[in-house]
């Protein structure tokens, strides 16, 4: 009997991968079949995504399925949130896919505040203020290229856009849509009144579809190009929504950290908390599978470590992530800490200079070399996790039993140990490929391979290594 395969195309800020999933003897098996690089390009004065190149990589990985004779029953794409593509009446992109790290949104929070107060905006959407949120990108677009909005017939988030190119069907997926800060937390639909107040055209915002929804078959042209046809089924197209679905948690109020370029730390809840207390602590209520909410804080993650590694490589010093861990351990007593969520770490020309500068501005000891600099970054990240856990306990009024770390950061043993030590919680690290796994789980659930989310998560726990790190 032929295996039933499901294909996850998981695209992150620095790389993308095609992963096939199937079940074997009651366990979920993942196979990475294709990997490609991603990164920002400078175009027309902005930091942008090269969507044409990314789409060619999507097709290249699908062709690999044909070469392996492992044809997926369904497939789905997940990416980061907030970024989008505008299409005109002929389905052609208007302008570039500007990336969230582009500085065009600077000052747009003040513009938004003239139309809606920060308090009301949070009460309506439940979304954490991040200067790169789609709401601020739209306001920047109104200022810089109003003709694009005037000509636009549809807005698609990045994975929506790729699904459209695969199937010819324009569908707005719910979990990614919530990252726009334009969706009503109560109604789980676009906040139409908010769109009107912001003077954004209603017609570009299509109906929201939830993970598990079938988008459609590949177009004949795409099917011919890749050598097969299959259905596109929506995963949680926001990568964190997919990652959270794959967290093997059974404990009530367990905390997860989706640890990658960003650290997304929070709880899974059935109802949004749009209170003023929640807003002031900068927690967000992003959409999840089955209408759940990802109640979390988005803080800087491995981006800081990745950036230092790139700097060292550019200077002719090639180091592994393990090497950086070793360097950090040589300066355990370094006293200075940085606020890992500070905007100065978002896209600095030099992350090392940004760390040194923060320490200097705050009257702390400035790192004297790479060992102290890495110690500062690692210890600051662990302190950021500790603060977030304490805030969560205060907000829900209950103790947090443990922390599940998934994603690429689950392999960073040193950071995981620091997290257990700083928070005083037991840490469970793994699985690593949580985002792709969650993408596949949504497809499996749609195909009734699992009857429920708890059953799917139980299968995850029984299929992948999870390391327990005691406090």
Catalytic residue list: 239
- 351, 347, 180, 62: CA torsion to nearest 10: -90
With 0-12 / 13-18 / 19 or more C-beta atoms within 10 angstroms meaning exposed / middle / buried, residue 375 is buried
With 0-12 / 13-18 / 19 or more C-beta atoms within 10 angstroms meaning exposed / middle / buried, residue 349 is exposed
What are the backbone dihedrals phi and psi of residue 423, each rounded to the nearest 5 degrees, phi first? Answer: -90, -20
Position of tokens 């800060």? 181
Report which of 276, 296, 230, 263 is spatially closest to residue 383, judged by C-alpha positions.
263
Find the radius of gyration of the CA atoms of the chain. 22
Q: Pairing mode, if any, of strands 262-269 and 426-429?
A: unpaired
Interatomic CA distance for residues 205 and 170, integer angstroms = 10
Interatomic CA distance for residues 341 and 299, integer angstroms = 5
With 0-12 / 13-18 / 19 or more C-beta atoms within 10 angstroms meaning exposed / middle / buried, residue 114 is exposed
DSSP, res 116:
S
- At 147, list the tokens: 């003709």
With 0-12 / 13-18 / 19 or more C-beta atoms within 10 angstroms meaning exposed / middle / buried, residue 316 is exposed
């Amino acid at each position: 009997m032929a295996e039933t395969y499901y294909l996850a195309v998981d695209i992150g800020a620095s790389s993308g991968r095609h992963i096939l999933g199937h079940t074997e003897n009651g366990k979920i098996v993942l196979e990475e079949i294709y990997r490609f690089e991603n990164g920002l390009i400078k175009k027309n004065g902005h930091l942008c995504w090269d969507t044409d190149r990314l789409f060619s990589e999507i097709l290249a990985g699908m062709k690999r399925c044909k070469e392996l004779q492992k044809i997926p029953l369904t497939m789905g794409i997940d990416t980061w949130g907030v970024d989008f593509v505008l299409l005109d009446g002929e389905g052609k992109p208007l302008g570039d896919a500007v990336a969230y790290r582009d500085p065009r949104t600077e000052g747009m929070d003040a513009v938004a505040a003239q139309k809606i107060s920060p308090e009301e905006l949070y009460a309506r959407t439940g979304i954490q203020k991040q200067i790169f949120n789609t709401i601020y990108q739209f306001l920047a677009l109104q200022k810089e290229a109003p003709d694009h909005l005037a000509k636009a017939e549809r807005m698609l988030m990045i994975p929506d856009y790729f699904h459209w190119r695969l199937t010819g069907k324009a569908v707005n997926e719910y979990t990614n849509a919530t990252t726009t800060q334009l969706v009503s937390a109560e109604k789980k639909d676009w906040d139409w009144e908010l769109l009107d107040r912001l003077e954004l055209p209603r017609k570009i915002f299509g109906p929201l579809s939830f993970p598990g929804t079938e988008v459609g078959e590949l177009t004949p042209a795409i099917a011919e190009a890749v050598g097969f046809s299959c259905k596109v089924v929506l995963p949680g197209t926001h990568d964190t929504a997919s990652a959270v679905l794959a967290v093997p948690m059974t404990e009530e109020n367990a905390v997860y950290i989706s640890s990658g370029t960003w650290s997304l730390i929070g709880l899974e809840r059935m109802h949004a908390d749009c209170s003023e207390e929640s807003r002031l602590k900068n927690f967000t209520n992003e959409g999840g599978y089955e209408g759940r909410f990802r109640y979390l804080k988005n803080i800087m993650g491995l981006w800081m470590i990745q950036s230092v590694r790139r700097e060292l490589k550019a200077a002719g010093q090639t180091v592994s992530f393990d090497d950086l861990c070793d360097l950090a351990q040589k300066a355990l007593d370094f006293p200075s800490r940085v606020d890992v969520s500070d905007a100065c770490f978002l896209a600095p020309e030099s992350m090392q200079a940004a760390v040194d500068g923060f320490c200097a501005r705050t009257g702390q000891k400035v790192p004297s070399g790479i060992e102290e600099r890495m110690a500062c970054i690692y210890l600051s990240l662990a302190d950021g996790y500790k603060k977030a856990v304490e805030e969560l306990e205060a907000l829900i009024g209950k103790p947090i039993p443990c922390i599940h770390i998934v994603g690429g950061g689950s392999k960073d043993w040193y950071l995981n140990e620091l997290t257990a030590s700083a928070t005083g919680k037991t840490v469970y690290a793994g699985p690593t490929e949580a985002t792709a796994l969650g993408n596949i789980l949504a497809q499996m659930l749609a195909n009734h391979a699992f009857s429920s989310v708890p059953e799917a998560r139980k299968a995850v726990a029984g299929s992948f290594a999870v390391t327990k790190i005691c406090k």
